[in-house]
Structure 1
Amino acid sequence: MIGMGKSISHTGASMGYGWDEEKEAEVIYREHLAGDNPKEITQEFKIIQTQNQRCKKNTMSFVLSPTIKDGQDLKDKQLTEITQRFVQEMKLQERQAIAFVHRDKSHLHIHLYVNRIGFDGKAYKDNFIGKRSQQAAEKVAQQMGLTTVREVQQERLNEIQSIRQEIKQVNEKVLTEMKPKDFDQYIKYMKQRNVEVIPSINKSKRLQGFRFEYKGQNLKGSEVHRSMSMARIAERIGFDKTASQKIVKDNRLELLGKTVGISPNIAATIAKRVIKMTVKKTIGLGMEI
């Protein structure tokens, strides 16, 4: 479960958003309030807030978001309990507060509004409120057996690691078996295996590298594996000798129908590759003789 929090000054507008019938909003928690609509609730907040004119951001807005899977099973009673526990963890008891659940999207979430000004006229200290909100949500999730942010992050990390490995395997297979003669062929062969290779071109129309899109993930080559930087890929592509000489001379190459610039380092890498292949071919011919 994710928890987010901040102090706001636009109480009425936020309250109206929270209590939006079009979003199928339902009140699941309220403390020290009697109003039946956003305008009345806002007015009740303001009565207390007049005791502290110095505090401008005098309402606190929180969003509690269980995972999609957890949210599908949560009933109103459990949503109320989540809110109550969160309020306790944040030490916000005995303050005016109201919470709504939104079910307008597949991702159920709770909007909680708390008067920052207490009945004694003092303002709640909101330093590091975002971090504290997440920590409180983490504790509530643990208490109620819900998925925590750390667990979600670990799942995503495991998923990305698996995807990185698959992209790397496809890359190796393309370079080893298909032996592309230029970047265009490399991009084409990768796409045939469901990996979208996206050239990163800056404002100066210079090719800076490749991004790889696969199974909903978009990663830089260096994020996939160190062997998948543009320079490392260039080292293994069998560029035509004539074309490579032009690339080295102009520091440019043709890519997907457009002329793009490349760094001198990449041009040098391509040149070394061609020289190495030429030497290897020459040695091979000599041995045959």
Structure 2
Amino acid sequence: MIGKGHAVSGTRVSISYGWNQDKEAEVVLREHLAGDTPAEIAEEFRIIQSQNERCIKNTLSFILSPTIEDGKDLSKKELEDLAKRFLKEMNLQNNQSIGFVHRDKAHTHVHIYTNRIGFDGKAYNDSFIGKRSQIAADNVAKELGLTRVREVQKERLNELKHLRQEIKNIHDRVLQSRPRSMDEYISKMKAQKVDVIPTINKANQLQGFRVEYKGVNLKASEVHRSMNGNRLIPTISQNQGLRRLMEAPKDLQVLNKTVQLSGNLSTKIAKEILKGIVKTVRDTGIGMGY
């Protein structure tokens, strides 16, 4: 099961989406609420939210997605239990919440909308809420014997096996042309219908890459480990000169602008470079005192 979560400001709009009858919506959770329409629920949220007007994104939106196989066998009562366990994992069991199951597209998933403002007027801390939602959903899946996050990801990647191989083949051909910069690599991949998308954080640090091909968006590492930023960057940097790269670059030109490398990416590149140096020493005997 996969969990997603973020804070939103449009309470009534969000709840109206959850209650969408076109998606065969059914209420599976109701905590500290009495209303029977999106407008009534939103008004109950608003009354509590009025105690803390400084908080703008005052509603929490979650999606719990069991696998297709798990979801089709879950009853309304079981989905209620799943939602309640999730809220407890997130320490939100005492806040107002409404949950809906959508069974459209043969993929059962639950939308939960929770008042970020508690009855004491305090706003729930939403730091890293996306990651925390993933962990909470994984814990609930473990408790209930459902397929867990890594198994879901493995299943998805297996379904995309042939598409991933297509991308890898294109990547290999582009590398054979020895691109001398990341921008040249990105341009050549784009010419083959593969969009390489740098992941750059708010601090202007490059964290890695994603690829988009035939409507599917994946982490580069999910396609193949050779497409990891820590392997790709040294490979392309090596094409700029005849000497082996000896240390991780501090910055990089990507999409015609200079970005710093994140600490995590720099460390991984340094390890890859060291592994290459060690391999060279082993293969050639250079520096071993022979």
Which TM class, normalised by the smaller chain length?
0.5 to 0.7
What value does the CA root-mean-square deviation take over the aligned residues? 3.5
State the AA in 2 paired with 1:33.
L
Which residue of the partner structure matches residue 117 of structure 2? 117
Q: Counterparts of 2:161 and 2:18 in 1: how far apart (Å)?
A: 38
Once the two structures are TM-superposed, the CA of residue 153 in structure 1 deviates from its matched residue by 2.2
Contact 1:167 1:224 in 2 (8 A): no
Superposition pairs for residues 1-289 of structure 1, below 5 Å? 1-157=1-157, 202=187
Once the two structures are TM-superposed, the CA of residue 155 in structure 1 deviates from its matched residue by 3.4
Partner secondary structure for residue 105 of structure 1 = helix
TM-score (normalised: structure 2):
0.57
Partner secondary structure for residue 12 of structure 2 = helix
User: 1:124-151 CA distances to partner (integer Å, 9 max, x unpaired)?
Assistant: 0000000000000000011111111111
Structure-2 change in CA distance of 1:167 and 1:24 (3 Å): closer
State the AA in 1 paired with 2:127.
N
TM-score (normalised: structure 1):
0.58
Contact 1:6 1:62 in 2 (8 A): yes
Q: Counterparts of 2:38 and 2:73 in 1: how far apart (Å)?
A: 28
Q: Of the two, which has the highest radius of gyration?
A: 1
User: 1:50-78 CA distances to partner (integer Å, 9 max, x unpaired)?
Assistant: 00010000000000011111111111111
Partner secondary structure for residue 72 of structure 2 = helix
Q: Counterparts of 2:138 and 2:91 in 1: how far apart (Å)?
A: 15
Q: Counterparts of 2:29 and 2:87 in 1: how far apart (Å)?
A: 10
Residue segments in structure 1 that go unaligned for 5+ positions in a row: 169-199, 227-289
Residue segments in structure 2 that go unaligned for 5+ positions in a row: 169-184, 195-214, 227-290
Q: Counterparts of 1:25 and 1:92 in 2: how far apart (Å)?
A: 23
Identity of matched residues, %: 60
Q: Counterparts of 2:151 and 2:110 in 1: how far apart (Å)?
A: 20
Once the two structures are TM-superposed, the CA of residue 93 in structure 1 deviates from its matched residue by 1.3
Once the two structures are TM-superposed, the CA of residue 163 in structure 1 deviates from its matched residue by 8.0
Structure-2 change in CA distance of 1:156 and 1:125 (3 Å): same
- Number of paired residues? 190
Which residue of the partner structure matches residue 204 of structure 2? none
Contact 1:32 1:96 in 2 (8 A): yes
Structure-2 change in CA distance of 1:22 and 1:217 (3 Å): closer
